[in-house]
Amino acid sequence: MLISKLVMPSLVVIIIIYAFIKKVDIYDCFIKGAKEGVELAFNIFPYLLAMIFGINILIKSNIVNDFLFLLSPLFNFLKIPIEIIPMAVMRPVSGTATLALMNDIFTKYGVDSFLGRLASTIQGSTDTTIYILTLYFGIIGVKKIRYALWVGLIADLVGIIASIIAVNLIF
């Protein structure tokens, strides 16, 4: 407990001592970094707004529920709980949406239930691929994201499949 309280202050002191030894003007560097941070926030905003708008359209249109209805026989055949599919579908798009879905699963089925453990494992085994590509590639101006998108989505699919297998084997 004591170590965790001392890490950040120690890091700040080490940086100040290092800057003093290298004769760096710490205040000017801090101000320059703060300005760059504000500029970055303004540059990121349009991409974040577009992602939020797209996610809201996807959620409000009920397309996820329609998708689940069409594929429910397949998921039942594979013995994959239908309740976890919205989270698996939304995970590459939005981390916040999947946290909300996971919270709903926790509320309905419990944290230590099979679905609770599966939701937690999927949350930890996958990433917000589309969000990351939109935000970071948009900021640096990369237009051709095809291969990065496919690799990221395949990695997410592998994470979801591995989560389902692992939780089925362990629990």
Render pLDDT for 67-93 as a digit per residue (tens, 0 to 9). Answer: 888 888 998 898 899 889 889 988 998
Residue 1 inside a domain? The answer is: yes
Alpha carbon of residue 129 to chain centroid: 8
Residue 133 inside a domain? The answer is: yes
Residue 132 inside a domain? The answer is: yes
| 148 and 81 part of one domain | yes
| 1 and 71 part of one domain | no
Residue 57 inside a domain? The answer is: no
Neighbours of 128 (CB within 10 A): 21
Residue 52 inside a domain? The answer is: no
43-52, 90-99, 109-118: which range is least confident on average?
Answer: 43-52
158: closest CA among 92, 71, 64, 66? 92
Distances (CA, A) of 168 to 55, 116, 165: 30, 12, 5
| 12 and 96 part of one domain | no
| 71 and 151 part of one domain | yes
Task: Give residue 108's pLDDT.
Answer: 95
Task: Give residue 141's pLDDT.
Answer: 82
| 129 and 71 part of one domain | yes
Confidence check: pLDDT of 151 > 90: yes
C-alpha–C-alpha distance, residues 66 and 91, integer Å: 18
Average pLDDT (124-131) is 91
pLDDT tens-digit map of 21-37: 999 998 899 899 899 88
C-alpha–C-alpha distance, residues 90 and 95, integer Å: 8
* Structural domain count of the chain: 2
Residue 49 inside a domain? The answer is: no
Residue 55 inside a domain? The answer is: no
Its domain, for residue 155, covers 62-170
Residue 137 inside a domain? The answer is: yes
Confidence check: pLDDT of 60 > 90: no
| 102 and 34 part of one domain | no
| 118 and 84 part of one domain | yes
| 11 and 93 part of one domain | no
Distances (CA, A) of 155 to 15, 40, 85, 116, 165: 37, 28, 17, 22, 15
DSSP 8-state code for residue 103: H
